[in-house]
Structure 1
Amino acid sequence: MWTRDSLQELIHGRLAGYKFIVVANREPYVHRFVEDRIVHSKPASGMATALDPIMLASGGVWVGHGSGDADHAVVDEHDCIAVPPEDPKYKLRRVWLTKEDEQGFYLGFSNECLWPMSHITFTRPRFDAKDWETYRRVNELFANAVLDEAGDDPTLVFIQDYHFCLLPRLLKNSGRKNLVVAQFWHIPWPNPEVFRVCPWKEEILDGLLGNDLLGFHLRYDCRNFLEAVDRFAESRIDYERSDVVRGGATTKVSAFPISIDFEETNRLATSPQVEQAMETWKRQLQLGDRILGAGIERLDYTKGIVERLRGLDSFLSTHLDYVGKLQFVQIAVPSRSHLADYRRIEDEVDRVTDEINWKWRNGRWKPITLIKEHHDPIRMVALHRLAKFFVVSSLHDGMNLVAKEFVASRTDEQGVLILSRFTGAVRELEDALPINPFGAHEIGDAIAAAVVMSPEEQKRRMTRMREVVARNNVYRWGGKILSTLLQFELPENPANTEVVQDSAR
């Protein structure tokens, strides 16, 4: 089984002498002013949560957008700071973006074009030429930062997500021969019929084919990508090996299902802090002996929050004996609120919550408690521990780490996971109750099955899911990607050369 120690052994052994650079739009630690103090926090990001343990093991460099209002105040003259702040293990290099950059690059092209195009949720992508130009310019900013950090040393560059489609080609076109470049695409890849509407599809594919290795969550996404390349990019594809040759260079396309640090979540779940937070939740919710259901995610139109609430309404309509005996808590963290589509989904979630609560309210009891704020991991794990059932109803998702976090939190081997068929996680967590989130009755039926499931059946299902998440952890994800990179012809490594010479003596 992959662990932090085995990943460190791989990094410190096979990759000794190489620099390791992660590139992501989001930074792993954010610094903000609170009155007259500077405080740091971790962002609400599954990607950052997954990568931080790998960076702790590697001691590399994270290149990310400095988004906190105190980020400038804590960096050195090279825009760098050692993190985690309380026990530094790696370097964070911050890239600064203007408000115009953020609008065009992040809110515009990344999240009004690429995000809806990649998620089949009936939200039309918006194609804006100015956003595309800003997206190109910001990719160039990050390329310059990576090249500066790499210098002339042999370097592995690991790029994250859809914000940097053009970055791999920019790095390769720099003429540097000391770089091996990999990228992981954290969201689904659209089928060719959807992708064909993008005015810049050829440039996007060319940029991504600058990678030596391109990873997706699922083989399904790999096939969609290869089909897009086949239709829209001049290249030669070896479908059996999942390789693309373009301009004499090869890109390997592979599936690497992402995961979490199971042991860390498992440890946290049994901590006194979580036990205390569970009591706080009980008081806050006035839970008493009611059955608790829960859902946690960003307020995003891909997450199926409205559909989930409609499913709860369907359950109550067919199981009147549970009126007043069941409570559902939905944590919905506001996200991308500057975009109209996100404001609309927030308004709809508010409206549907009010509608259902008005319909079923009985005295002081109401079925839905909607909380629109970010909570720290202790509070989230405590809610996982309390919930009899947990609903993940994404309309389209790459993986969904929230589902895995719920499983890892259940050290008591109880609780029921209700999981959308349109998540990558459903392929691994076969003992969850699968649902089509577009059918409210399916969600209602799954809730009905969950609330009456015996402790023995819960234990049987949860034990198997916990074994899967423990085995397929984030260190396995990182280790598989790095092991695949080691199959490439790496730049000459001075450290390894010295080892060979010493052996020859």
Structure 2
Amino acid sequence: MAIRFILPLLVVLGGIAWGGAPLVGSLVERWFRADVEMRSQLVFNSIQESVTGLVLAKADRKIDALFKHITQDERLLALGLCTPDGQLAQRSTAWPKALACPPAPAMNHAFAVQHIDGGPVLVATFALAADNTYLGRLVILHDLRFIERRSDSAELYLAGFLALLGLGAAGVTVVVARLTLRGWIKAVRKGLAGRSDGKDDSALSSDVEPLVREMRKILRDLDAPRVLTEAIRVDWSPDSLRSVLRDELPGVEVMVISNREPYIHNLEDGKVVLQRPASGLVTALEPIMRACGGTWIAHGSGSADQSMVDENDHLQVPPDAPAYTLRRLWLSDEEQDGYYYGFANEGMWPLCHIAFVRPSFRASDWEQYVAVNRKFADAVVAEAKTPNPVVLVQDYHFALLPRMVRERLPEATIITFWHIPWPNPEVFSICPWKEEILSGLLGSSILGFHTQFHCINFLDSVRSEE
């Protein structure tokens, strides 16, 4: 937490120091230069009369002695005396050899900075005159290197000051933030521990009260799904299923559509034998139909099936305790070969499983697939006793049936479960009748797959055809 406060503050103050240091250096330089110019003026004023008298007396030695005495000041680098024609007549010993006499000042004095090998110097030029006679000019040189040193020191002090200021401010901020956060957490805990109806909120501070109310709302929203889940959690049994259907869907009519029937009658040695197919679909759905009743429409594939139904092709099952109606449909060998063995098993099954077998799609098989789906849809409409039955469509044998039923029973709840994988859009696009299959399945109210991955593949297939 402390790092989060300190680092941004140090970065900001570092930027201020980086940007302000040149400004401070420039300001310090101007201050000290003005001070040096003032010192030069004071030096000139103090020696002007003496130098003028010595120049008139042509006392060169006394001028040298005077210059030597004055340049004992460490900041005053050198003095020079220039003739009216610009020649350097007298100079102190420290006068730079490369520096000549500066031009005559326009207004009795002039100041300029020149850079020599030793560093920058301030050249102060003053005119000398006596009785309106121009005698030359006195040049005073001051060493300005100390200004650079002090400017660097000022920049360093500024950076150090800002760093200490940043650390102090960050430390104070962290302490205040921790104390404030601790107070907030204590107040929020107290508010959440109080009554949920908000009647105890009067004791909360005005800045904490809105937060506590919002947190209560979020907690209620998060808790709602759990409460709902617990409320609808049921220990499923035949009795509980019947109770749910009676209470939640009163008068509902349930219909199951599948290729395989739950009971098969075969003729063996002249006797009719009842068989229960070893099918996961039958094992899952048959107990539901026993509990809730309804109609199961399936292909009558047994050799003795026709002999066991009534005039409407109905059979009450289970035989020992009839609970629902089995409606058997009869398919010719041509229909079964084209719809089941052809299009469904040789086309859709390897396509959806992405098996190492090339799917076979034949127009004749497709025609039988459409015809059989239509036959089962007709049976659904014929068997429906209400305009809004719950139709449970099973597997890839009936991809077209949901749309066919929807067109004739628009209020029906059609729940289709696809019992095999659904391939990616690129693989599914191999099917010549992909648009018809997607349209048929989209007639469902609910469409289920084994995994989320298969569901995503289906949605991607739909989008690719838009």
TM-score (norm 2): 0.49
Please identify which structure carries the higher helix content: 2
Higher-Rg member (1/2): 2
- Which structure is richer in relative contact order (CA contacts within 8 A, separation 6 or more)? 1
TM-score (norm 1): 0.45
